[in-house]
């Protein structure tokens, strides 16, 4: 098959929230830049907010709250394991971001006094700012393209290209035809999302995940292979969400007076959802299924919740609840623990970046769920999309042109050609994905222990051999799924190695080791870094002290 060659100044891998914002900001700074997206889906509706959003989860509104209070709150939520400078920069730029979105026509409701409506979501402060914009993704994707960015839809990022240690572009795969696209670039921003398809969801559906199921850890693997470091990959978080749908609603319902109840009608949470561990505790004690009760609320509040859920936050929910015969005025919403995921937005795992979105590999930046700016949500995706763009534009201006490594491209082509066959192969890729994720559920996520984690590492070797030699690949779609499953296996290896390194329990169910049941700040108040060793499959782990606002250990 023909390999297509392109050139750009800036390549953005992932056309979600962070990617679109990065393109817009880069073209604001230099309208002459040639920017290309590799987007696995369709940029109009791709990413974790495929359509709209009900809030910016992090906004430090002047004269109401402060960046200092935000980093105090998020540090408590992360139990101290985060560098303060990136989180501070997020909060410091958040209000400017809100005003920019408002200028684009995004609606932020205000009260009678003209104040933005805020909700209690974090441990301290009211940083969640209500937003009513069902077409948010359409707005930002259209704006990026109208300013000149070119979106190559259905192109999955496979491998970053290097020129003497510096990024020089990437190879992508057409997920329908199996053809390769090689894009030379002076800088690359990884915004390909997190790892959504990790363990199995309670429904058993491979793609019935809380987050965008196209997020299969591609950015983590690409960055790792290029020499970037990962952090907090042991943080494998599951949440209590709508049973069988795994769709978000806590921040919409509970912050507006909804009650989370256990089977004994005890109220676990009401008016705020900062302490999610309460739900985990009740579930682990056998007090489930948990449920959200709304029928005690005023009719106008229930109408507001339905308006948000059914128009902005995944409108398919209206059909789902109607099909289940659930009227919020009469019946409660059953909750269940979702699949575990690795994510820099709702969680903590991802590429290790500083406050400039730099990964440590010259010319490579990361933003959104692909980057570890802990619990950054949509605000972080937007802010660090802009930050990455600003740094990339400056890097492009001050560094000479790079060249494509033809030998590296040829190696990717040969690997693709070996996999693209159904001769002497007998395993369907979907069957293998089910087994992989079932064993991730068994061995990699909490409760963890050394025996289970090492058992996964033994199984992953078998899965790699099956991926190389036994998967039937009839078309480009099968081929893309094979690469995705390979990335799922690789991310599980990252997580298992990092979990073995962190010999303590921390973050509730996100990292609970039964052989080390206690939290140990003296030894483990630090990052667990994961990086590439000498061999292709060699994963090295180590520790890195958390840094203060000045970027130094213990800094102020």
Q: Where are the domains of the chain?
A: 240-337, 407-520
User: Phi and psi at residue 279, in whole multiples of 5°?
Assistant: -70, -40
pLDDT, residue 554, reads 61
Flag whether the pTM goes above 0.75: yes
Per-residue tokens: 397: 């201006």
DSSP string, 9-42: EEEEE--SHHHHHHHHHHHHH-TT--EEEEESS-
* Class in CATH terms, 407-520: mainly alpha
d(CA 323, CA 325): 5
Q: Which residues on neighbouring strands pair with residue 38, listed in sequence order?
A: 13, 152
Of 537, 252, 185, residue with least CA distance to 395: 185
pLDDT, residue 272, reads 81
Mapped onto helix, strand or coil, the DSSP state of residue 320 is: helix
CATH topology of domain 240-337: Flavocytochrome C3; Chain A, domain 1 (3.90.700)
d(CA 127, CA 173): 40
pLDDT, residue 556, reads 43
d(CA 281, CA 543): 30
- Residue 237 burial by Cβ neighbours in a 10 Å radius (0-12, 13-18, 19+): buried
Of 290, 256, 289, residue with least CA distance to 273: 256
pLDDT tens-digit profile, the chain (556 residues): 899 999 999 999 999 999 999 999 999 999 999 999 999 999 999 888 888 898 999 999 999 999 999 999 999 999 999 999 999 999 999 999 999 999 999 999 999 999 999 988 889 999 999 999 999 999 999 999 999 999 999 999 999 999 999 999 999 999 999 999 999 999 999 999 999 999 999 888 999 998 999 999 999 999 999 999 999 999 998 988 999 888 888 888 999 999 999 999 999 999 888 778 889 899 889 999 999 999 999 999 999 999 888 888 788 889 999 999 999 999 999 999 999 999 999 999 999 999 999 999 999 999 999 999 999 999 999 999 999 999 999 999 998 889 999 999 999 999 999 999 989 999 999 999 999 999 999 999 999 999 999 999 999 999 999 999 999 999 999 999 999 999 999 999 999 999 999 999 999 999 999 999 999 999 999 999 999 998 767 999 999 999 999 888 764 4
Contact 455, 443 (CB under 8 A): yes
Cα-only R_g, the chain: 22
Contact 443, 453 (CB under 8 A): yes
d(CA 239, CA 276): 8
Per-residue tokens: 374: 């802990």
Q: Which residues on neighbouring strands pair with residue 35, listed in sequence order?
A: 10
Of 224, 142, 214, residue with least CA distance to 190: 224
pLDDT, residue 50, reads 80
d(CA 33, CA 36): 10
């Amino acid at each position: 098959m023909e390999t297509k060659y392109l050139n750009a100044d800036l390549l953005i891998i992932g056309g979600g929230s962070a990617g679109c914002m990065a393109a817009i900001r880069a073209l604001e700074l230099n309208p002459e830049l040639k920017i290309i997206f590799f987007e696995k889906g369709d940029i109009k509706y791709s990413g974790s907010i495929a359509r709209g959003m009900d809030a910016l989860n992090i906004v430090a509104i002047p004269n109401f709250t402060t960046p200092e209070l935000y980093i105090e709150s998020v540090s408590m939520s992360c139990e101290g394991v985060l560098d303060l400078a990136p989180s501070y920069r997020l909060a410091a730029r958040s209000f400017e971001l809100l005003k920019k979105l408002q200028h684009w026509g995004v609606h932020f409701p205000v009260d009678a006094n003209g104040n933005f409506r805020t909700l209690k979501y974090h441990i301290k402060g009211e940083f969640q700012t209500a937003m009513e914009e069902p077409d948010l993704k359409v707005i930002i994707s259209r704006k990026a393209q109208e300013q000149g960015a070119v979106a190559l839809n259905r192109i999955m990022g496979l491998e970053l290209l290097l020129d003497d240690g510096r990024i020089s572009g990437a190879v992508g795969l057409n997920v329908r035809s199996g053809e390769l696209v090689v894009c030379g670039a002076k800088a690359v921003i990884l915004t390909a999302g997190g790892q959504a398809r990790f363990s199995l969801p309670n429904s058993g559906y491979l793609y019935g995940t809380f987050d965008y199921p196209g997020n299969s850890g591609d950015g983590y693997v690409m960055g790792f292979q290029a020499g970037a470091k990962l952090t907090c990959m042991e943080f494998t978080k599951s949440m209590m969400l709508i049973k069988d749908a795994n769709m978000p609603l806590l921040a919409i319902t509970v912050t507006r007076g909804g009650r989370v109840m256990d089977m004994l009608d005890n109220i676990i949470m009401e008016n705020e959802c900062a302490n999610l561990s309460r739900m985990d505790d009740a579930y682990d004690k056998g007090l489930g299924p948990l449920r959200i009760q709304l029928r005690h609320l005023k009719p106008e509040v229930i109408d507001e919740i339905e308006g948000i859920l059914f128009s902005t936050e995944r409108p398919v929910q209206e059909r789902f609840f109607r099909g289940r015969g659930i009227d919020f005025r009469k019946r409660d919403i059953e909750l269940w623990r979702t699949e575990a995921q690795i994510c820099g937005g709702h969680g903590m795992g991802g590429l290790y970046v500083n406050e400039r979105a730099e990964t440590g590999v010259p010319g490579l930046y990361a933003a959104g769920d692909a980057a570890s700016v802990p619990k950054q949500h949509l605000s972080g995706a937007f802010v660090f999309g802009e930050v990455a763009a600003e740094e990339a534009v400056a890097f492009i201006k001050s560094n000479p042109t790079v060249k494509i490594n033809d030998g590296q491209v040829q190696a990717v082509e040969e690997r693709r050609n070996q996999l693209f066959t159904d001769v002497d192969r007998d395993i369907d890729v979907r069957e293998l994905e089910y087994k992989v994720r079932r064993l991730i559920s068994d061995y990699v996520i909490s409760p963890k222990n050394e025996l289970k984690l090492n058992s996964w590492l033994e199984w992953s070797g078998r899965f790699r051999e099956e991926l190389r030699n036994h998967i039937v690949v009839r078309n480009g779609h099968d081929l893309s799924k094979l690469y995705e499953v390979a990335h799922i296996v690789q991310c599980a290896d990252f997580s298992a190695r990092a979990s073995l390194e962190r010999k303590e329990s921390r973050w509730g169910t996100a990292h609970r080791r039964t052989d080390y049941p206690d939290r140990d700040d003296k030894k483990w108040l630090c990052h667990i870094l994961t990086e590439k060793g000498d061999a292709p499959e060699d994963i090295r782990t180590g520790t890195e002290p958390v840094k203060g606002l000045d970027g130094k250990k213990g800094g102020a």
